[in-house]
Chains A and B, each alone.
Chain A
Amino acid sequence: MASAAHVKSMEPSRSAAAQALATIVVALLLFVSVYAAILVAPEERTMGLIQRIFYFHVPFGWSAFIAFFINLVASIAYLRSRAPKWDWLAVSSAEVGVPFVTVMLVTGPIWAHPVWGIWWTWDARLTSTFVLWVLYVCYLLLRTLIDEPERRAVVSAVFAIFAAFDIPLVYFSIWFFRTQHPQPVIGAGGSLDPRMFRVLLVCWGATLALLALLLVQRYRLEAMRWELDHLRLNLDRPGPEPQRFATVGSKGGSI
């Protein structure tokens, strides 16, 4: 079984050390980004301290979009190749992307309340982000409601493709209602202080590292779950398969 071979190929002690090291590096990066956002970046003239939430709001948003893009690519790749690893990647990216969008949806109102005077407004960016969040929560919910692993992978991949193609349409259609969100300050017509931009990049780097770390961990968990599901399905089937149990048992010991 591909999953068993995959899990077995990682030597427990070395991979544990690598994981610990990666976790420490990501933690350090996050610490540096908090330091940079609060102490290095210059104070914004009108908004003051609250503006610093921008250094987390924007990077988590960008990283979340990358996660959902990975989800789309992995879903299409799964349907084309039927290799379980693509399904593991798809579910991992969605499950990491949803909390990242949640960070964006929570930090947004915290910033908006003092600056706009309201927690929430139904403008294009806010509403389409909210719909995006709902769509991927539904994706994760759908996955929990199908037991058979291959069926779950296929069905949720099709849903993921629909959801991904829906996002631009959602954004475009809501955009025709008046939009209140601050316009992008990076790129054309932007007026972001270069120091602010550098801090933003540091913070984005840190969130990307966090994304990668969580993605790898979740991917390995999914690989183990996939194997477990298959073991369970084989147990449920009538008639013993002594040879199969023997090989699976020996591989199970190395997890």
Chain B
Amino acid sequence: MALARPVGVLLAKELRTEFRTRELLATTLVFVLIVLVLFSFTFDPTSVESRRFGPGLLWLALLFASSLMLHPSFTHEHTNDTLLALRLAPIDPVSIIAAKILANFCFLLVAELVLLPIFAALYNLHVLPVLGRLAAVLVLGTLAICIVGTVFAAISSQARMRELLLPLLLLPLLTPALIASAEATAGLFEEQPALAPVWIGVLAAFDTIFLTVTWLFGDYLLEE
């Protein structure tokens, strides 16, 4: 794969920049926590109610958080005009987007790792027995958010009102991913935990389709 090396190098760069400050991770974590606490006031978080609403709330919180945290992935390149430097490199422009998708994917997964125990404790849900299947849903769902979110961050970074624009573009488009992730997660917290293959199928289809679209059309967003 000609893409693998530049993507690896760029991914290392993204991770290094983030882990020097950890700003993005810290703010995302705190934001999701606040949202989860606020949600607990909208209904009585007993275990029956939690099983019904909890998974949807978790995914909504992650969605809102990602619509904020994905925004800097291109705008922070504006500060020193580093996107121009990246574009000048003799690599396929898609690898710049791919690296950013992967980096955001890592950040969001790390955030989820920290949040999951807290979420389970706050909403009184049993995570351990279904951990493997839950991880599969989290990985597929998070990938869906990061693919579309990163591409749309590239779109919104070129417009006015960019902070407001990203959630506006991102949230309606992620409808199928939200439904599938929330439904799949809800199935895991039922009395008899079960993972509906159809929702995994929807998530996998979502990821495949939009990865392909990004691969075909993503590089247009980086030209000047």
Interface: A141 (CB within 8 A): yes
Interface: A58 (CB within 8 A): no
Interface: A142 (CB within 8 A): yes
A173→B220 contact, CB < 8 A = no
B158→A151 contact, CB < 8 A = yes
**Which chain B residues lie closer than 8 Å to A176 at the CB level?**
183, 198
Query: Which of A138, A146, A157, A163 contacts B158 (CB under 8 A)?
Result: A146
**Which chain A residues lie closer than 8 Å to B176 at the CB level?**
166, 169-170, 172-174
A134→B172 contact, CB < 8 A = yes
Q: How large is the interface on A (under 10, 10 to 19, 20 to 34, 35 or more residues)?
A: 20 to 34
A162→B213 contact, CB < 8 A = yes
B175→A159 contact, CB < 8 A = no
| Residues 124-182 of B at the A interface (beta carbon under 8 Å) | 148, 151-152, 155, 158-161, 165, 168-169, 172-173, 175-176, 179-180
- With A162-B148, A169-B202, A176-B198 in contact, is A142–B173 under 8 Å at CB? no
Interface: B215 (CB within 8 A): no
The smallest C-beta distance from B107 to any residue of chain A, in angstroms, reads 22
A145→B160 contact, CB < 8 A = yes
Interface: B83 (CB within 8 A): no
B221→A169 contact, CB < 8 A = no
| Residues 126-146 of A at the B interface (beta carbon under 8 Å) | 131, 134-135, 138, 141-142, 145-146
**Which chain A residues lie closer than 8 Å to B206 at the CB level?**
169
Do most interface residues of chain A lie in helix, strand or loop, or is the interface mixed? helix
Interface: A161 (CB within 8 A): yes
The smallest C-beta distance from A166 to any residue of chain B, in angstroms, reads 5
Interface: B81 (CB within 8 A): no
- With A145-B165, A162-B213 in contact, is A155–B158 under 8 Å at CB? yes
Q: How far is the CA of A154 from the CA of B160 in the complex (A)?
A: 16
Interface: B223 (CB within 8 A): yes
Q: What 0/1 pattern do residues 5 to 22 of B give for CB contact below 8 A with A?
A: 000000000000000000
Q: How far is the CA of A235 from the CA of B222 in the complex (A)?
A: 27
B155→A135 contact, CB < 8 A = no
- With A141-B168, A146-B159 in contact, is A161–B217 under 8 Å at CB? yes
B159→A173 contact, CB < 8 A = no
B210→A159 contact, CB < 8 A = no
Interface: A158 (CB within 8 A): yes
A173→B165 contact, CB < 8 A = no
B169→A158 contact, CB < 8 A = no
Of all chain B residues, the one with the shortest Cβ separation from A176 is: B198
Q: How far is the CA of A248 from the CA of B175 in the complex (A)?
A: 47
A142→B169 contact, CB < 8 A = yes
Q: What 0/1 pattern do residues 79 to 92 of A give for CB contact below 8 A with B?
A: 10000000000000
Q: What 0/1 pattern do residues 172 to 202 of B give for CB contact below 8 A with A?
A: 1101100110010000000000000010001
Interface: B209 (CB within 8 A): yes
- With A165-B210, A169-B206, A176-B198 in contact, is A142–B155 under 8 Å at CB? yes
B198→A138 contact, CB < 8 A = no
- Most chain A CB neighbours (cut-off 10 Å) among B205, B217, B218, B223: B217
Query: Which of B152, B159, B220 contacts A157 (CB under 8 A)?
Result: B220
Query: Which of B151, B173, B202, B217 contacts A79 (CB under 8 A)?
Result: B217
A162→B210 contact, CB < 8 A = yes
B contacts, CB < 8 Å to A: 148, 151-152, 155, 158-161, 165, 168-169, 172-173, 175-176, 179-180, 183, 198, 202, 205-206, 209-210, 213, 217-218, 220-221, 223
A contacts, CB < 8 Å to B: 79, 131, 134-135, 138, 141-142, 145-147, 151, 154-155, 157-159, 161-163, 165-166, 169-170, 172-174, 176
21 A-B contacts (beta carbon < 8 Å): A131-B175, A135-B172, A145-B160, A147-B160, A151-B158, A154-B221, A154-B223, A155-B221, A161-B213, A162-B151, A162-B173, A162-B213, A163-B173, A166-B173, A166-B176, A172-B202, A173-B175, A173-B176, A173-B180, A174-B176, A176-B198
20 more contacts with CB within 8 A, not counting A138-B169, A162-B148, are: A79-B217, A79-B220, A131-B172, A134-B172, A142-B165, A142-B169, A145-B160, A146-B159, A154-B220, A155-B221, A158-B151, A158-B155, A158-B221, A163-B173, A166-B175, A169-B206, A170-B175, A174-B175, A174-B179, A176-B183
